[in-house]
Amino acid sequence: MAPGALSKKKGSKSSKGPPKKKQKGNLFTEKRPEKADLSDDSDVSDEEVEELENFDEDSGSELLSGRRECFMFVDDWFYVMWYGAEENSGSDSGAGSDGSDSDSDVSDIERKSRALDERRAREEKDAEDELQTNIAEESDEFRLPTEEELEAEANRPPDLQNLQRRIQEIVRVLSNFKDLRQEGAKRKDYIEQLKMDLSSYYGYNDFLIGVLIEMFPVNELLELINAFEKPRPICLRTNTLKARRRDLAEVLLKRGVNLDPLSKWSKVGLVVYDSQVPIGATPEYMAGLYMLQSANSFLPVMALAPQEKEWIVDMAAAPGGKTTYVAALMKNTGIIYANEMKEPRLRSLTANLNRMGVQTP
């Protein structure tokens, strides 16, 4: 009975496939190798052999449709693993060749793809509708605030975000006043409102804002004021009467000062990024090796280009940055008339002249 059972088992497996109930319960179906003989003490039970003999060939052929199998040997036993098999929820016998698993997988992929495309289309439509709604809500015509609105703003803390938005809108209208102006409003009304908003937002007085508006177009004015708000780097000017820039930079680097040469247009300037020591209280500063001086104050002296033994008049000398620079370029020759209107500022001027080594008559 055992050899016959093995032959029956091999024949049905090669042509039809495993029984369906084996597909549900166990993923592995055990088989002996083709050339292996069953001994009397085989582990195959009579129930398993009988079950293989009663295998339904028609149902086995249906199970093979759309399925894959994997073979492996473990301890002289031959295992067949079926995978990719899915049962139809409608019946126990399957759907036949027209309703195979491969067709079902393809239809599932197509259905999911269509669902993703529909969801993406809905999201794009919602985004477009929201954009059109925002455009409709925000009119291109900017309207100046009324007197009641200005009085209400004066009684509460300034809304910086609202001020900034209004400044930008006024600048936009003034740049194309003919097309964007409010009906009945004059350019003067926009200018007056811009002065008020700039004074409130940036903290400038009315006189300075008025002078800047008269000097620059509104677009350049806004860029200029924003540039004023950016922090300027700390700059040093090497006192060539006492030191060279390279030697001074090496000493300050050893003290933990992160610096670089200012630019190609200056041979004495250094820009400081950060420092581990107070840059205005180092021994080198006290000895007069450098002067804390902004880079823009170098330019008047460079434009003057003083020569040795000349007579120079400085009409606003304190605290002495430009005066000491002139003295260094003249190599302590000639005469400098350092004038200062405010007497308290003469103290800092005198101190810097002595510290930087400028000779006084």
Q: Give the residue ranges of DSSP H helices in the chain.
A: 2-15, 20-25, 46-53, 57-63, 101-137, 147-154, 160-175, 177-180, 187-202, 206-215, 218-229, 245-254, 283-286, 298-304, 321-329, 345-355
179, 189 in Cβ contact below 8 A? no
**Is residue 106 packed enough to be buried (19+ CB in 10 Å), middle (13-18) or exposed (0-12)?**
exposed
Instruction: Report the DSSP beta bridge partners of residue 322.
Output: none
Shortest CA distance to 336 belongs to which of 347, 349, 345? Answer: 349
Residue 335 phi, psi (nearest 5): -135, 135
Q: Which residues contact 278 (CB under 8 A, 6 or more apart)?
A: none
Q: Is 340 annotated as a binding residue?
A: yes
> Is residue 321 a known part of a binding site?
yes
Q: Which of 83, 81, 70 is nearest to 28 (CA)?
A: 81
Q: Is residue 320 marked as binding?
A: yes
Is the sign of the CA dihedral 210, 212, 215, 217 positive or negative? Answer: negative
5 known member of a binding site: no
* Residues in Cβ contact with 134 at an 8 Å cutoff, skipping those fewer than 6 apart: none
- The answer to whether 17 is a known ligand-binding residue is no
Q: Is 331 annotated as a binding residue?
A: no
DSSP label of 235: E
Q: Is 254 annotated as a binding residue?
A: no
- Angstrom CA distances, 141 to 25, 88, 170, 236, 274, stand at 75, 64, 11, 50, 47
The whole-angstrom separation of Cα 199 and Cα 134 is 31
96 is in an annotated binding site: no
Binding residues: 316-322, 340
Q: Annotated binding site for S-adenosyl-L-methionine, which residues?
A: 316-322, 340
